[in-house]
Amino acid sequence: MSEYTEFNKELEDFYKKKSLYKKEYNYIKHTIVNNEFYRQLPRNEQQIAIRNIKQNCIQCKKKGGTKFIEGFDEEKNYRFVKMTCGNESSPCNLFSFLTIPKVYSFQRIIEEQESSIEQLKKDLINLKNKGIYGLITNEDAVKKYKEIKEQLSEVYMLHTSFFKDYMQIIENEQKEANKTEILLKIDEVLTEMRVYLGDFNDLQNTHSLKVAVNKYIHDLLPKLMDLRRNSYNAMFVHYNEDDNTFNLMQSKYTIADTEYFMDDPSVQKTNNKKETSSRLVAPVSDDIDWGSDDESDISKVNNSYETEDSDDDGMLLSRKKLIIDQNTPEESPVIESEIL
């Protein structure tokens, strides 16, 4: 795996976990603010209750939550993201630190290079005019001419290299050659299948039908997949809410394919355990008549909530109960987590 592939994977993983962590918080908050007891509190005590929402680390499940940090190092001039365990007494080894390099599109780089080339050409013309009209000495003109020519040669070389790489992305000759070869193989397989299917239609030979089906499964389908991969680097289904339709979107390349890292990214990570996630599954209460139509009775349900913690594979690790403690002093209602 290249450093760029690993970096993109880890960066996507960071924002995915941060989003899930934020959704969990918002879900718990939404549940609490809809609680009848919460609505009866003064506004300042409601704010205290929300501030007392506690989340656990996504890995070790200890109190303190997980810290997701996005920042900029002014001294070293780079952006970074950082993910660590929030438990202060005994944090686990959850650690991820990514330096985010500057990224430009190939098109922007090529346009800037072409602009630089045009400007350097103008500088050469101006230098020549100054020499003609005696506005600069021959010695200075020769020295300046060499400097501009060196700059122009360097920019030309870079422009040629970037343009070649860019054209390789949008008009990949190797992929086009592969497509031609794959199409020929597909045609060969279809010809063979037609022979076997014709034999079945004429003689009702079931063996020929089985051979045709096997060729479809083992020969034709894999080549069709290869053709798709060589034809399109990005494919997804887009849902249009306006007319309630689904559209297959295909592209030879993605935006990420046409981006260029100006610096090398770095990935530092320590994480030996599976991440876990929490979800609120149902309000719970030991003294509720679920068949009751009495609103005052049913409102008791909203005083405690059951959550489940599971790993990436969906395996249940623990079950907890979120409680609005109505026995605490009214000026400081506490939201706490109790392990069942």
pLDDT 10s digits, 234-286: 888 888 888 889 998 888 888 878 888 877 778 888 765 544 444 443 343 33
In order, the DSSP letters of 20-48 are: HHHHHHHHHHHHHHT-HHHHTS-HHHHHH
pLDDT at residue 105 above 50?
A: yes
pLDDT reading at 198 higher than 50: yes
Q: Which pLDDT tens digit goes with each residue over 303-328?
A: 444 455 555 544 444 555 444 444 44
The Cα 58–Cα 61 span in angstroms is 6
User: pLDDT value at position 124?
Assistant: 93
* pTM beyond cutoff 0.75: no
**Average of per-residue pLDDT across 127-152:** 91
How much of the chain is helix, strand and coil, in % rounded to 5? 50, 25, 25
pLDDT of residue 310: 53
- pLDDT at position 172 is 80
pLDDT tens digits, 55-88: 999 999 999 999 999 999 888 888 999 999 999 9
Which of 159-168, 225-234, 277-286 has the largest mean confidence? Answer: 159-168
Longest dimension (CA), the chain: 102
- Confidence label for 193 from pLDDT (cuts 50, 70 and 90): very high
In contact, 319 and 306? CB cutoff 8 Å: yes
Q: pLDDT value at position 224? A: 92
Identify how many contiguous H helices and E strands the chain contains and give both numbers.
9, 12
Predicted confidence at residue 84, as pLDDT, reads 94
Amino acid at 245: T
Residue type, 228: R
Pull the structure tokens for residue 61.
């499940």
Q: Where are the strands (E) in 114-255, listed by range?
A: 234-240, 245-251
> How far, in Å, CA of 31 to CA of 280, rounded?
9
Examine the pLDDT at 1 and tell me if it is beyond 70.
no
